[in-house]
Structure 1
């Protein structure tokens, strides 16, 4: 009898818990639909490493901001500094060959408690990455006569990339936010230009400003 009573009590509590969760279940698009729609653009500078060398990346992303929670948009970023190419990996001989890395694709971002002065965001870029090499000599050092011939050997390699990240966000003004954060870039099936997945995959630290209707 005691065992039956305990079993009944357990089933009742479990059923009540499941029912409570079912009633409290909330989704991005609730029954009332999209009750607030906005949008914003973000400019960001990232600090990371590629092939063991420091890499500075400029990034731009933005899109549709739904229900003060979810951003659906596009993003793109690329390196801006000199990243030396080892002599054995150069596509053509030059004094200052550098790697160029870039990525672009779908950008999603979820904002927790967007109306609070300080809150947290989580984002994910999913798309394509690419690498190439080029001669980074100063303008006075270019040999324009053989520019076309030398760059016929440029080898652009594309591959799949994902970069999840988190940010701490500060609401500076109604239309501007400051969001420092950290992310991890993961390359898949990167081949060519002397770079592998592990050479391209690394942690990035970023400083981001966002402008728009939040």
Structure 2
């Protein structure tokens, strides 16, 4: 069901972003249209995000930023990165041991961000960002070295993973150079190789708030 939702969002985005093409059969009109042509309007932008969602059954806060270029005031392309900033604690097992104990989850992810905007001139419009990339995750035992109060932490296990995160936001034009967005995304994670955390433990729906700056 989760993969179906992901595929539906991506296909919907592609359909929305597709340009309407009319074949005029005019031999003079032979120019091939492309996003990176000189006739297009390309502006840089930067943004900061706050994302709240469940990871390993606990509510976590992810903070990140992304930036890149807006083409023709509709399409965006850039890079993004997010990190878990709240202390996420759960009962787990240190590999090689049998008794459970409190462990902490640390991690983050990043990659390319693509997307577009529907009705960008309106006061309230729709923005659809899609993140494709990778991340890393580690499980930490904060009380592993009890006899060393200066540094008692120990990384129990770690893993890299693939992430795909399509989202949808209602975006507000606050000023010509500032937009505020609020919406939801679905974080799909695959490829974790941990004893304490599975892919489904860290995949899920996320609420987000975006602060975007640039020439819109």
Scaled to the shorter chain, the TM-score interval is 0.7 to 0.9
Match of 2:103 among 92, 97, 104: 97
Q: TM-score normalized by structure 2?
A: 0.75
Q: TM-score normalized by structure 1?
A: 0.76
Larger Rg: 1
CA apart distance, 1:69? 1.0
CA distance in 2, matches of 1:84, 1:65: 39
Q: Secondary structure at the match of 1:45?
A: strand
The 8 Å contact of residues 136 and 160 in structure 2, kept in 1 or not, is answered as: yes
Q: Secondary structure at the match of 1:179?
A: strand
CA distance in 2, matches of 1:90, 1:56: 27
Cα deviation 1:7-40 (Å, max 9, x = unaligned): xxxxxxxxxxxxx96438xx98379754211021
Paired residues in the alignment total: 186
CA apart distance, 1:160? 0.7
- Which structure features the higher share of helix residues? 1
CA distance in 2, matches of 1:105, 1:30: 21
The yes-or-no answer on 1:181 pairing with 2:187 is no
Structure 1: give runs of 5+ residues left out of the alignment.
1-19
The yes-or-no answer on 1:80 pairing with 2:85 is yes
The 8 Å contact of residues 82 and 99 in structure 1, kept in 2 or not, is answered as: yes
The alpha-carbon distance between structure 1 residues 106 and 30, as it changes in their structure 2 partners (threshold 3 A), is closer
The 8 Å contact of residues 55 and 83 in structure 1, kept in 2 or not, is answered as: yes
Match of 2:64 among 59, 62, 66: 59
Alignment of 1:114-153 (within 5 A): 114-134=120-140, 143-144=149-150, 151=154, 153=155
User: 1:165: which partner in 2?
Assistant: 167
Match of 1:110 among 106, 116, 125: 116
CA apart distance, 1:87? 3.6
Q: Secondary structure at the match of 2:121?
A: coil
The alpha-carbon distance between structure 1 residues 32 and 163, as it changes in their structure 2 partners (threshold 3 A), is closer
CA apart distance, 1:90? 7.3
The 8 Å contact of residues 185 and 202 in structure 1, kept in 2 or not, is answered as: yes
Deviation beyond 2 Å, 4+ runs, structure 1 = 20-24, 27-35, 89-93, 133-137, 153-156
Q: Secondary structure at the match of 1:198?
A: helix
CA apart distance, 1:59? 1.6
The 8 Å contact of residues 126 and 162 in structure 1, kept in 2 or not, is answered as: yes
User: 2:23: which partner in 1?
Assistant: 23
- The CA RMSD over aligned residues, in Å, is 3.0
